[in-house]
A and B are shown apart, each in its own frame.
Chain A
Amino acid sequence: MQFFGERAQKTLILVVILVAIALASLLATVALAYTPGPVVGGAAVRGIVKFTGPVPAPAKLDIIKDPEVCGTEPKFDESLQVGAGQGLANVVVYIEKIDKGRALTTAKAELDNRHCRFVPHLQAFATGTELAVKNSDGVLHNTHIRLPNSDVFNYALPEKGQVIKKKMTRAGLMKVGCDAGHVWMGAWIAVFDHPYFAISDKDGKFSLADVPPGQYNLMFWHEKLGKGSQQLTVQPGAAQDLTQVYK
């Protein structure tokens, strides 16, 4: 028995397949996306990141353009900063692929072009945060923010005091540079679609609050030293202290 013509039947089959694919991919996205909700038995995860290798003197940056604005005082590479007790600063600490937990907190973030450097050199925030890109210098800077394989934006800031605001919706590790001849200018921004991230302070300390009980991968990233990770098991209400060592 034939309800439809041959063509109609083919179309129907095609539609069914497409709908199935669409549903499947929707489910896949839902499963991966972060869902905020009440956290029961959440615990703090604190820790310290250490660097035990020899600390080289920071390299002096070669200021080859616009010295009258960029300043004549020597500038140094900011990537490797080791504080008291071998504590390693500027390490991004985050829980990998966490899919539920407390709500995201979005704040306002700023990235200033000041004396031909990006301030701050490294920052982390949640998606939905509004980033204000600012030029405090009188020269042209452009703030070019990239993910590994795509541009996030590339804004020109020709005017002193100019501010461009942009709501950051994509997650990932972003590299910041200025193409206007200031080859030494560089910064990093880590954007997360969940709230479980931190940046180690000058003594290498970090803390993550209200982590739901469970098993996770705790990830570490440092601009020069690369990535590291350790297993993290959170028991209900039991705060813990960790140490991560870079050699």
Chain B
Amino acid sequence: MPPFLADEQRNYKIIFMILSVSLALAAVWAFFDEDVTRRPWKQWQRLYAQLLDHGADQVAVAQLVVPELQVVDRCTTCHAGIDNPAMVGGNHKVLQVHPQRDTLLKHHPSLQFGCTPCHRGQGLALTEGTAHGPGDPHWLEPLLRGPYVQASCLGCHAATEHLAGAEILAKGKQLFTELGCAGCHAIGPEAPPRRGPSLVHVAQKLLPGYMVTWIANPEKRRARYQMPQFWPKAATDPSEATRRDREVLAIAAYLLEKSEAWPMASAATAVAGERAALGKALFDQVGCRGCHALGGGRDTVRIAEPKAAGSGDAWADFGGNDAPGDASPVALAAAATIDFAPPLGEVASRLQPGFIANWLRDPSQYWREARMPTPRLVEGETLYIQSYLHSVATLPVPPTPAALATPRDPKLVEQGLKLITVYGCAGCHEIPGFATDARPGPDLADYGSKDPRDMLQPTPPPPRHQRTWERATEAKLLAPQALSAGTIKLVMPDYGLQPEQVQALAVFLRGLRSQTIPAAYRAEPAGGQARLQAENLIQERGCQQCHQLRGLNGAILRYYEQAHLAPPSLDVAGKRLQPQWMFSYLLEPAPVRPWLQVRMPQFRFTPAEAENVTAWLAENAGKAGGLRPMPIHAVSPQRAEMGAHLFERLKCVTCHRLVRGDGVETAQLAPDLGLARQRLDPAWVRNFIEDPGKVLPGTKMPQFFPDGQSPTPDVLGGNVAAQMELLVDYLMNLGLLPVGAEPPAPVRKGAP
């Protein structure tokens, strides 16, 4: 022991040494910690460099900067392989390529879009917790997970209907429209049409006794639209039920008291007996069944059963190799919904006796925005159908509650006015005394960026870290009045939504944000708004309830044994018809096949709507050129004469008329060819003549040239192609040829 060191000093030295070693260890540990624990991205960077055989000098923070979107995203620091197609498979999920790189990143290059505009989260953060959230409640932009990432599409895409990968969002948007959410909640300056029927003349439509039971307990009567439940707690809470019954009476009293007079053309009420039988025949034949079921939502009545083997039908059970074609009812499994419109089974216990006949004359006279087309019935027919529908009812007519009989208590009516205001009935229904743009619910234009701390939570409230935007919104939609709201009275009604509907709606709502997107990033739908409008109209008006179109088979087709008696396929019509003809037919349907019992109704399209639908159907059939008239090949008089000769030899006039107003008997067999020039597409006619059954399965038109043989070998040397061409030329020039006088077309009212 050296003498110059005292014992004390020696102790200090030991302490000093220990401290030094600790410091050294701490430094090493800090270095390690900085590198690995606090900067986990370095691991991913190293691993990525290693996988790619790069040197370790590649390890650095990666950053995507998109000034137009105010984006600085460092996500690719860890997700280094996100745009690298080589990073498929492997054990490291973080480094993997974007699962939909081929579609999504192709249209949204990462250098141009960054990551957070779609996925959200904190783009600057370099650790998982802060970047992704919502583990830390202070981060307001948690990563959108699962289907919620689809919400971001709404920011730039004006239409989400056909966006691949945004199906849940599209469903949510559609639900928002169909359920009429926009009636109470604005998301933009435009007020969409109200979803519910007009109540302006309700006293002439509904029985008062039925009104109160319906308002208190709206039934789920069809797959699509539904009136929601405004007193969901009344089912379990007797005091709520008492309140509900009192409020319902007041609401009904106001609606009946303020109902405005509707001029009814026919005072005739329902009469059973023979009229009902005639009405049933009409109801079955003219097309009502395309949209309306008779029973409580599902309807098994069929006009003609498909001939399926084992059905007991002696013909179908015979065996053999029958192969149902496309037009066969048996093949029509994927039918449109059978309950597109309200079922009509129990109208006598719901409707005033004279309502149906008057409504059928022109639904828009009762309700301007009515979706039901005008069915083109004549006066007597509307009465027959009314008689029939009133005769199928089995439920008793509900008595009128005493409080609703006239004179009504002005206090009750006054109370009804207040309740209608509170519940926002005018959001969906036109009601006398209420402004057309009344929006009782809060504006939702920025709902998607709402702070979850400001949102109502279900009872009991979930733990703090689970109080996310998604949970709060889903809970609200699932049971709107079950959230804890303190003293606020919740009035949003219960739509009885299924969990997947709730999620779809929430995804759509998540996408609602007030944000300014640079013009270059805004995406218009392919084909523009005209195409979208056409698609909405086709869906909204139920074209596919009667017509086959794009894989959806009209619900009404199941009632037809023979395809040629059913409404024609619109896939075929697009090819067959000249767009100009389709356009005028949509505006004013004129009978082409008088033998059909089903009638094309009048949809009350505006010219612009008819033009958009026509253009859509033509495009669907592979035709460009819009509504321009089709070029017609002119023929010489000699060729015309030759055409007339062939036409006569083939005896086409056995079934087809050539001039309007001529040949009443043959008018029952085939379309009037005097219309061919304006109506038919020459290329389609050529294909149709060649093999009618192939072009139009189930048609009555026979094949004249089977196996390429002509029955008239002496014409044009028996050349089948030349004969078909001659027939088309002749037909397309019929209106210009001297085949007799062409009187103005007499439109037979009430015929299809």
Instruction: Using CB atoms and an 8 Å cutoff, list the residues of chain A in contact with chain B.
Output: 6, 65, 96-97, 139-140, 142-144, 147-151, 153-159, 162, 164, 166, 170-173, 175, 179-181, 190-191, 221, 226-227
Q: Are B321 and A172 in contact (CB under 8 A)?
A: yes
Task: Give complex CA distance A139, B423 in Å.
Answer: 72
Task: Give complex CA distance A155, B649 in Å.
Answer: 15
Task: Give complex CA distance A171, B355 in Å.
Answer: 54
Q: Are A164 and B654 in contact (CB under 8 A)?
A: no
Instruction: Using CB atoms and an 8 Å cutoff, list the residues of chain B in contact with chain A.
Output: 89, 306-308, 313-325, 328-331, 649-651, 654-655, 665-666, 669, 692-693, 697-704, 706, 709, 711-712
Q: Are B654 and A151 in contact (CB under 8 A)?
A: no
Q: Are A180 and B655 in contact (CB under 8 A)?
A: yes
Q: Are B665 and A181 in contact (CB under 8 A)?
A: yes
| Known contacts A154-B692, A162-B711, A180-B654: A144-B702 contact under CB 8 Å | yes
Nearest-CB distance from B685 to chain A (Å)? 16
| Known contacts A142-B702, A156-B711: A151-B693 contact under CB 8 Å | yes
Contacts of B320 in A (CB 8 A): 147, 170-173, 191
Q: Are A154 and B318 in contact (CB under 8 A)?
A: no
Q: Are A154 and B703 in contact (CB under 8 A)?
A: yes
Q: Are A221 and B314 in contact (CB under 8 A)?
A: yes
Task: Give complex CA distance A154, B319 in Å.
Answer: 21
The chain B residue sitting closest to A191, CB to CB, is B320
Task: Give complex CA distance A198, B427 in Å.
Answer: 72
> Among B306, B649, B651, which residue has its beta carbon within 8 angstroms of that of A149?
B306
Task: Give complex CA distance A155, B651 in Å.
Answer: 13
Contacts of B665 in A (CB 8 A): 65, 181
Task: Give complex CA distance A241, B315 in Å.
Answer: 27
Q: Are A151 and B702 in contact (CB under 8 A)?
A: no
Q: Are A149 and B307 in contact (CB under 8 A)?
A: yes
Task: Give complex CA distance A121, B666 in Å.
Answer: 26
Q: Are B325 and A151 in contact (CB under 8 A)?
A: yes
> Among A139, A150, A154, A226, which residue has its beta carbon within 8 angstroms of that of B325?
A150
Task: Give complex CA distance A144, B706 in Å.
Answer: 13
Q: Are B330 and A156 in contact (CB under 8 A)?
A: no
Q: Are A149 and B328 in contact (CB under 8 A)?
A: yes
Contacts of A140 in B (CB 8 A): 650-651, 654-655
Beyond A156-B703, A173-B320, list 7 extra A-B contacts (CB 8 Å). Answer: A96-B319, A139-B651, A142-B700, A149-B325, A156-B702, A158-B651, A173-B315
Nearest-CB distance from B700 to chain A (Å)? 4
Contacts of A154 in B (CB 8 A): 692-693, 699-703
Nearest-CB distance from A100 to chain B (Å)? 17
Task: Give complex CA distance A43, B177 in Å.
Answer: 73
Task: Give complex CA distance A168, B315 in Å.
Answer: 18
Q: Are B655 and A158 in contact (CB under 8 A)?
A: no
Q: Are B669 and A158 in contact (CB under 8 A)?
A: no
Task: Give complex CA distance A175, B703 in Å.
Answer: 17
Task: Give complex CA distance A162, B649 in Å.
Answer: 13
The chain A residue sitting closest to B648, CB to CB, is A158
Contacts of B317 in A (CB 8 A): 227
Contacts of B711 in A (CB 8 A): 156-159, 162
Nearest-CB distance from B67 to chain A (Å)? 39
Q: Are A155 and B324 in contact (CB under 8 A)?
A: no
Candidate in A154, A159, A162, A164 with the most chain B CB atoms within 10 angstroms: A154
Nearest-CB distance from B649 to chain A (Å)? 6
Q: Which 8 A-B pairs have the closest CB atoms?
A: A172-B320, A142-B702, A140-B651, A156-B702, A148-B307, A173-B318, A149-B324, A179-B700
Nearest-CB distance from B132 to chain A (Å)? 28
Q: Are B704 and A156 in contact (CB under 8 A)?
A: yes
The chain B residue sitting closest to A174, CB to CB, is B320
Q: Are B654 and A139 in contact (CB under 8 A)?
A: yes
The chain B residue sitting closest to A173, CB to CB, is B318
The chain B residue sitting closest to A177, CB to CB, is B700
Contacts of B323 in A (CB 8 A): 147, 149-150
The chain A residue sitting closest to B669, CB to CB, is A181
Q: Are A190 and B318 in contact (CB under 8 A)?
A: yes
Task: Give complex CA distance A110, B331 in Å.
Answer: 32
| Known contacts A149-B328, A156-B650, A158-B651: A179-B702 contact under CB 8 Å | yes
Task: Give complex CA distance A172, B330 in Å.
Answer: 17
12 contacts across the A-B interface (CB closer than 8 A): A65-B665, A142-B700, A144-B702, A149-B329, A150-B323, A153-B706, A154-B692, A172-B321, A173-B320, A180-B669, A181-B665, A227-B314
Contacts of B322 in A (CB 8 A): 147-150, 170, 172
Q: Are A171 and B321 in contact (CB under 8 A)?
A: yes
Task: Give complex CA distance A144, B701 in Å.
Answer: 9
Nearest-CB distance from A130 to chain B (Å)? 13
Task: Give complex CA distance A166, B669 in Å.
Answer: 26
> Among B89, B328, B649, B692, which residue has its beta carbon within 8 angstroms of that of A150?
B328
Contacts of B313 in A (CB 8 A): 148
Task: Give complex CA distance A227, B316 in Å.
Answer: 11
The chain B residue sitting closest to A148, CB to CB, is B307
Contacts of A149 in B (CB 8 A): 306-308, 316, 322-325, 328-331
